[in-house]
Chain A
C-alpha cells in the first residue's frame, strides 16, 4: 500500500530548496522525532498556489510547526481551529505558527477558507512527506504527517518537540510553555 522508501544512505539536502520532485531521493525518516537541541532542517514549501515559505527566512523569531495528518479530519480541524483562536497569544511571543500536512495547496486553500484559518498551511506534497520525514514526523503506514509539534527558537534550533498519540489533539499548552521558556531563558537575541 505505501510506496517503497529508499532506506540507503542519502545525500543530505536539508539546506537546499525543495529539489525538483521527480528525481529527488526521499531521505529516510529519522528513527524518531527530532528533539530539542537539533538544528531544525530548513525547507521551502508552498503555502498557496503562488507563495512559498522558507523556514530560514523566519530566523529571528520563534516558529511553531504543527504537523498534522489531514485537512478536513475532525481532530485536525479542532486542532487547527484552536491554534487559530490563539494567534494573538502566539503573537505575544512574536512567534509564527504554521501547519504542515501532505495535502496539496488547493485542499489547504479550501480548508483554510472553510475554517477561516488565519495562519499558513504548508503543503508537504511533492515529494510527498519529504519535510515531515526529515523531522521524524511522518507515518509511513498512513502516508500522512504524524501529529507532531515543534517550537523552534530564533536561531533555528528546535527547543521543544512533541509527538501526539494517534487521534489525540495535543492542544496548545505545551507550545505556550515552550514559548515561555524561550522568552524567559534567552540569554541573547
Chain B
C-alpha cells in the first residue's frame, strides 16, 4: 500500500493564471477547489469570507474550478461563465454572485449576472461559446484530481490538503489563526467530510 494519498499536495502551484485575493506574500494561502452549484461549497462561501475578514492581509485566497457536472447540471457552465467574466476583470464579483444565487444558474441567469457586471449579453454569449473557457475549467479540474481533490469543496492550506471539516473554527485552526470564534457564535456546523 502506498502513502501517496495520506496528505496530498497541490500538483499545480499557484501562479498568475489563478484567481487570487490577498497579497502574494501573505503567510497563509488558502486554496479552494469548488463547484458553484454544490450546496457544501455554498455553505463554505460565507465561512471563507469571514476567514478573510479576520485574517486580513495575512491570508491569500485562491479559487479553482471543480464542477461535478453530472451531479450539478449547471455547474460547468457557471464555472465557464465566471471565467468569461473573469477575462473582463470581474472574476470575484461573478464568483460571489454565483454563490449568492446558487439556485438560479441557468444560462439566462448567468447572462443577467454578467450584464449586471457591465458585460453585454452579446459579448457574454459569444465569449461563452469559445472553447478557451471550457479548457480552462477542465485544466482546473484536472489539476484538482492530480492534487487529490475528492469532493467539493476541497481546501489546501499552503499547498497541503485540509482533511478536516470547513467550519470556521477548524479552518481558523488550520490556517494557524490563534483566536477562534467566540463560543456560541452560531457558526454553521457543516458536515464533517470524513463521515462514512
Contact = CB atoms under 8 A, between A and B. Distances in A.
Given A33-B1, A174-B5, A74 B191 contact: yes
Contacts of A79: 150-151
Interface stretch (A19-27, A80-88, A102-110, A151-159): A80-88
Given A117-B70, A169-B151, A89 B145 contact: yes
B70 A118 contact: yes
Interface stretch (A9-17, A93-101, A160-168): A160-168
Contacts of B21: none
B34 interface: no
A75 interface: yes
A82 B196 contact: no
| Minimum-distance CB pairs A-B, first 3 | A78-B151, A171-B150, A169-B150
A172 B68 contact: no
Interface residues of A, number: 33
Nearest to A79: B150
B189 interface: no
Interface in B6-40: 8, 11
Nearest to B141: A85
Contacts of A169: 150-151, 193
B194 A171 contact: no
Contacts, number: 81
Interface of A: 33, 69-70, 73-75, 78-79, 81-82, 84-86, 89, 115-118, 161-164, 166-174, 176-177
B2 interface: yes
A72 to B, nearest CB: 11
Contacts of A70: 196
A81 B145 contact: no
B49 interface: no
A76 B11 CA distance: 24
Contacts of A69: 196
B195 A176 contact: no
Contacts of B175: none
A69 B195 CA distance: 12
A171 B196 contact: no
Nearest to A73: B196
A118 B70 CA distance: 9
A185 to B, nearest CB: 17
Given A81-B71, A118-B70, A173 B151 contact: no
A19 to B, nearest CB: 31
B194 to A, nearest CB: 5
B101 interface: no
Given A82-B68, A89-B142, 5 more contacts: A75-B195, A78-B151, A81-B71, A173-B11, A174-B4
Given A78-B151, A86-B145, A173 B68 contact: no
A170 B68 contact: no
A70 B150 CA distance: 17
B69 to A, nearest CB: 6
Contacts of B142: 89
A85 B148 contact: no
Nearest to B161: A171
B71 to A, nearest CB: 5
